[in-house]
A and B are shown apart, each in its own frame.
Chain A
Amino acid sequence: MHEASLVRSLLRQVGELLVEHGGESIVTIRVEMGPLSGVERPLVEIAFAEQVDSTPCRGAELKVEEVPLSAICRECGNEFDIERFRFVCPACESTRVRVISGEEFRLLDIEIRQPQTESVSREQP
Chain B
Amino acid sequence: MNAATKTIPVNRDVKAELRRQAEELRQQFARHGTLVINVLSSPGAGKTALLEATAKHWAGQRKMAVLVGDLATDRDAQRLAPHCPVEQLTTGGACHLEIPLVKQGLEKLGSDDFDFLFIENVGNLVCPASHDLAEHLRVVLLSVTEGDDKPGKYPKMFRTSQTMVISKLDLLPHVPFSVDAAIEDARLIQPELTTISVCSLNGDGIADWCDYLDECRQSLLSPLWTTDPHSTAQ
Contacts and interface: CB of A to CB of B under 8 A. Distances in A.
A17 B8 contact: yes
Interface stretch (B151-159, B174-182, B206-214): B151-159
Contacts of B191: 87, 95-96
A87 B159 contact: yes
B11 A2 contact: no
Contact of B94 (A2, A13, A17, A115): A2
Given A2-B127, A109-B8, A85 B3 contact: no
Interface string A77-94: 000000001111000000
Given A5-B94, A10-B14, A106-B11, A112 B6 contact: yes
A8 to B, nearest CB: 10
B127 A113 contact: no
B98 A17 contact: no
B106 to A, nearest CB: 20
A5 B10 CA distance: 20
A61 interface: no
Interface in B63-98: 94-96, 98
B13 interface: yes
Nearest to A24: B3
Interface in B1-45: 1, 3-15, 17-18
B13 A104 contact: yes
Contacts of A108: 9-11
B94 A36 contact: no
A24 to B, nearest CB: 7
B188 interface: yes
B130 interface: yes
A9 B8 CA distance: 18
B94 A114 contact: no
Given A2-B94, A87-B191, A23 B6 contact: yes
A114 B4 CA distance: 6
26 contacts: A1-B127, A2-B94, A6-B14, A10-B14, A23-B6, A36-B155, A37-B130, A38-B156, A39-B130, A88-B188, A95-B191, A104-B13, A104-B14, A105-B13, A106-B12, A107-B11, A107-B14, A109-B7, A109-B8, A109-B11, A110-B8, A113-B3, A113-B5, A114-B4, A114-B6, A116-B1
Interface of B: 1, 3-15, 17-18, 94-96, 98, 126-127, 129-131, 152, 155-156, 159, 187-191
List the 9 closest A-B pairs by CB distance, nearest first. Answer: A38-B130, A95-B191, A85-B155, A2-B127, A104-B13, A109-B9, A105-B14, A107-B10, A111-B7
Interface of A: 1-2, 5-6, 9-10, 13, 17, 21, 23-24, 27, 31, 36-39, 85-88, 95-96, 103-116
